[in-house]
C-alpha cells in the first residue's frame, strides 16, 4: 500500500491505479480505525478493483469546545490495518495541504443537516460536506463508502453529491454500510475509547433501550410515550443527558409523530461521562 500526503502524489498514484480502466472505491475516515471502518474497506474491495482510504481529522467539522485536539491519532496502526485489508492507497494529507492559506469556501447543505446533530453541533455538517466534496474531487472515485452509524451525515453527503452533480460522472454510487456493533450491541465508534469501564458497560443500554422502543412503536404504542421511556432508561443507566431521541423519515429526516408507512429511523444522541454517543436503527 502506498501513502500519499500531497495532492500531487495522490493524483499520480490514483492515475496509475486507473491506468488500465480499473475502478476505485473511496473510504473516507478520520482514522482511529475499528472494525466498522474495516467493514467499509471490505465492501469497497468487493465492489471495486482498488480501494483508496483517506485519513484526515478534519478541523472544520469540530466545534470550538469539541474534541479536535483529543481525537485519537494512530497513523502507524491505521496504516497497518488498511494494508492488511488490501487497501491500495492511503491518502493522509496534513491540514495545510487540505486547507491551504486563503481557503475561503464552505459547502452548506440545508434541510437534512438542520435537526439532530446539526442542531447540537453548529457548523459540523458544513465541515463534513466541504471536506467530503474535496475528497470526491481529489480522488474521483467510482464509489464511496460511509457507515450508516452517522445516518444524518450520510443523508447530508447524498444531498450534497446529488445537488452538486458529483454522483455522475465520478462518484457513481454513495454506499451506506450497516453499523457494526460490539457483542453487547454498542455501535462501534472511535469515541468509545473515551469511555471509562463503568460508562462503557452502561453504554450498552443505548442500543437495548432503542430496540425496546422500536418494538413498542412497531407494536402500535404511542411514539412520544415510547421515546420518553427510552430517554428515562438512558438517564437511569447513568447517561447525563439525551440530546435527542426522535423518530424520523429515513430519507428526508423529517421528524415523525407516528409510523406513517414510509421507511422510518429512530435516531438518538446521548451523553455519558462527557462522551456523546449517537446511534440509529430502522423502524417498521
Is 195 among the residues that bind ligand PAF (CB under 6 A)? no
Going by C-alpha positions, the residue among 123, 177, 127 that lies closest to residue 150 is 177
Site for ligand PAF (CB under 6 A): which residue of 131, 133, 143, 227?
A: 131
Pick 153 or 275: Cβ nearer ligand PAF: 153
Q: How far is the CB of 31 from ligand PAF (least distance, A)?
A: 8
Going by C-alpha positions, the residue among 163, 166, 101, 172 that lies closest to residue 134 is 166
Q: How far is 35 from 38, CA to CA, in rounded Å?
A: 5
Q: How far is the CB of 40 from ligand PAF (least distance, A)?
A: 10
Site for ligand PAF (CB under 6 A): which residue of 4, 30, 44, 161?
A: 30
Q: How far is 144 from 166, CA to CA, in rounded Å?
A: 11
Q: How far is the CB of 128 from ligand PAF (least distance, A)?
A: 5
Q: Please give the backbone phi and psi of residue 44, each rounded to the nearest 5 degrees, phi first.
A: -65, -40
Pick 187 or 209: Cβ nearer ligand PAF: 187
Q: How far is the CB of 82 from ligand PAF (least distance, A)?
A: 14
Q: How far is the CB of 112 from ligand PAF (least distance, A)?
A: 15
Cα-based distances in Å from 78 to 29, 31, 54, 62, 149: 10, 7, 11, 21, 20
Q: Which helix (H) or strand (E) holds 264?
A: strand 264-272
Catalytic annotation present for 170: no
Is 28 among the residues that bind ligand PAF (CB under 6 A)? yes
Is 38 among the residues that bind ligand PAF (CB under 6 A)? no
Binding to ligand PAF (CB under 6 A) within 220-279 occurs at: none
Q: How far is 55 from 76, CA to CA, in rounded Å?
A: 11
Is 58 among the residues that bind ligand PAF (CB under 6 A)? yes
Pick 25 or 28: Cβ nearer ligand PAF: 28
Pick 10 or 234: Cβ nearer ligand PAF: 10
Stretch that binds ligand PAF, among 27-35, 160-168, 258-266, 275-283 (CB under 6 A): 27-35
Binding to ligand PAF (CB under 6 A) within 140-179 occurs at: 150, 153
Cα-based distances in Å from 1 to 52, 148, 170: 10, 27, 23
State the distance between the two ends of the chain, measured CA to CA, in whole angstroms.
Answer: 42
How many residues belong to the site for ligand PAF (CB under 6 A)? 10
Q: Which helix (H) or strand (E) holds 156?
A: helix 151-163
Pick 75 or 215: Cβ nearer ligand PAF: 75
What's the helix, strand, coil split of the chain in %, to 5? 40, 20, 40
Write out the catalytic residue numbers: 37
Amino acid at each position: 500500500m502506498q501513502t500519499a500526503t500531497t495532492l500531487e502524489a495522490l493524483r499520480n498514484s490514483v492515475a496509475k491505479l486507473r491506468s488500465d480502466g480499473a475502478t476505485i472505491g473511496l473510504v473516507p475516515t478520520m482514522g482511529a480505525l475499528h472494525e466498522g471502518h474495516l467493514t467499509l474497506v471490505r465492501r469497497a474491495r468487493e465492489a471495486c478493483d482498488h480501494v483508496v482510504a483517506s485519513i484526515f481529522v478534519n478541523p472544520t467539522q469540530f466545534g470550538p469546545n469539541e474534541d479536535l485536539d483529543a481525537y485519537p491519532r494512530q497513523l502507524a496502526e491505521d496504516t497497518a490495518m488498511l494494508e492488511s485489508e488490501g487497501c491500495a492507497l492511503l491518502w493522509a494529507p496534513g491540514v495545510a495541504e487540505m486547507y491551504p492559506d486563503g481557503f475561503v469556501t464552505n459547502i452548506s447543505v440545508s434541510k437534512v443537516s438542520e435537526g439532530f446533530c446539526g442542531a447540537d453541533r453548529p457548523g459540523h455538517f458544513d465541515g463534513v460536506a466541504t471536506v467530503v466534496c474535496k475528497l470526491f474531487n481529489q480522488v474521483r472515485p467510482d464509489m464511496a463508502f460511509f457507515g450508516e452509524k452517522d445516518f444524518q451525515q450520510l443523508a447530508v453527503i447524498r444531498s450534497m453529491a446529488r445537488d452538486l452533480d458529483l454522483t455522475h460522472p465520478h462518484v457513481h454510487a454513495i454506499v451506506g454500510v450497516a453499523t457494526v456493533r460490539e457483542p453487547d450491541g454498542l455501535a462501534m465508534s472511535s469515541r468509545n475509547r473515551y469511555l471509562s469501564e463503568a460508562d462503557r458497560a452502561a453504554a450498552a443500554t443505548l442500543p437495548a433501550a432503542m430496540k425496546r422502543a422500536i418494538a413498542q412503536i412497531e407494536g402500535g404504542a404511542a411514539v412520544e410515550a415510547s421515546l420518553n421511556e427510552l430517554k428515562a432508561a438512558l438517564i437511569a443507566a447513568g447517561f447525563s443527558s439525551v440530546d435527542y431521541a426522535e423518530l424520523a423519515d429515513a430519507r428526508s429526516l423529517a421528524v415523525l409523530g407516528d409510523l406513517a408507512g414510509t421507511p422510518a429511523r429512530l435516531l438518538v444522541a446521548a451523553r455519558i461521562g462527557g462522551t456523546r454517543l449517537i446511534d440509529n436503527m430502522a423502524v417498521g
